[in-house]
Amino acid sequence: MFDQGWAKEMIALLLEAKDSVETSKSAGCHRLEETTLHSIRVRYGMLIQRDGRPTLLRRSANATASRPTAANLLKRLDRDRADVLRFATDFRAPFDKTRPSAT
């Protein structure tokens, strides 16, 4: 079994980033303050590189079966970090894939 505490921390970070975006939008801003965005990016990278990714990828590389879901998710979060955080750099981008329907 893999320790997936990083996932809860990643969810908390992304929700915190979403709240920061919503607060900035409410204040009439069109982007996050540079220090806030930098903090989000650094924490994101630390979560991926910390305990989870190297351990999961090392274990899965030795496994004969396909890689665990958590390892695959970490790989995508690392590879696609700009897309994952797009909502924090471009306020037109949605937090999730759900878009409101046009009326």
- Write out pLDDT tens, residues 6-58: 889 999 999 999 999 999 999 999 999 999 999 999 999 999 988 555 555 55
- Report the b/e string of 55-90 with b at 16+ CB within 10 A: bbbeebeeeeeebbebbebbbebeeeeeebbebbee
94 torsion bin: left (phi>0), alpha (psi -120 to 50), beta (else) = beta
Q: Look at the pTM and tell me if it is higher than 0.75.
A: yes
